[in-house]
Amino acid sequence: MRDDKEDIKEAFKFIYKLTNVTKEEIRAKTRKRQPVFARQLLAYYLRKNTRMSLHQIGETIDRDHATIIHSVNKITEDAEYDAYVRDMKEAIDGKVAPYIYSLRVKLTESYTETKGIQNKVDDAFRVILNNIELFETHKRSMESKSLYDNALRLQQTEIGLLREQVRDLKSSISSIMK
């Protein structure tokens, strides 16, 4: 039988793979978006994949049990309408970090420690995931050639918008890096 220390170590490693947020950043007393989100994911992970009590999970991340309850509920509820959160939740439920998140970690690690870059990368991934899901939804609902043609036009429009957003992201990053 595994002990809690092994489960906690595995949980922090898994959440790092998904979010590129370190154990120290998760446990820090900060309200920055990315560490808060990683903290919520960690609470969800520990609650769903271990036998730890709410109090024990709270001690692990220096929060109280009420915060743990809120975190677990937030991930569960947000996954219903947010593709990015749903993707993270499904990764935790299956204990499999999709390759795309390993790529995300590599992208963020390739930049210097400049403020704001991580948020811009997260925003880019959120846009990409939302657009992929949008196209897949339209593709599944197509029943005739005309619908297929409309979906292709929609995809080309979405790809054009995505290219513009990536171009803007690159220029923002290059201006920050200077």
Indicate which CATH number applies to the domain containing 21. Answer: 1.10.1750.10
Alpha carbons within 13 angstroms on the beta-carbon side of residue 75 total: 25
The answer to whether residues 87 and 8 belong to one domain is: yes
Residue of 92, 155, 99 whose CA lies nearest to 125: 99
Q: Does residue 104 sit within a domain? A: no
Among 28, 62, 97, where does a domain finish? 97
**What is residue 76's predicted lDDT score, i.e. its pLDDT?**
93
Find tokens 């903290």 and name the residue: 39
Residue among 49, 45, 6 nearest 26 (CA): 45
Please, which residues have CB within 8 angstroms of residue 143's CB and are 6 or more apart in sequence? none
d(CA 78, CA 174): 33
Prediction pTM value = 0.58
How many domains does the structure of the chain reveal? 2
52 residue type, one letter: M
Q: What are the pLDDT digits (tens) for 94-110?
A: 877 665 565 555 555 55
Residue 106 lies in a domain: no
Per-residue pLDDT of the chain (178 residues; tens, 9 = 90+): 456 788 889 899 889 888 888 889 999 888 888 889 999 999 999 999 888 889 999 998 889 889 999 999 999 999 898 888 888 888 888 877 665 565 555 555 555 444 566 666 666 666 566 556 555 555 555 444 455 555 556 666 667 677 777 777 777 777 776 5
Rg of the chain over all Cα atoms, to the nearest angstrom? 19
Task: Give the domain range for residue 131.
Answer: 111-178
Distance CA 119, CA 141 (A): 33
- C-beta separation of 68 from 58 below 8 A: yes
In a domain, 105, yes or no: no
Q: How confident is the model at residue 165, as a pLDDT?
A: 75
Report pLDDT for 73.
94
User: 165-178: b or e for each residue (b if 16 or more CB lie within 10 Å)?
Assistant: eeeebeeebeeeee
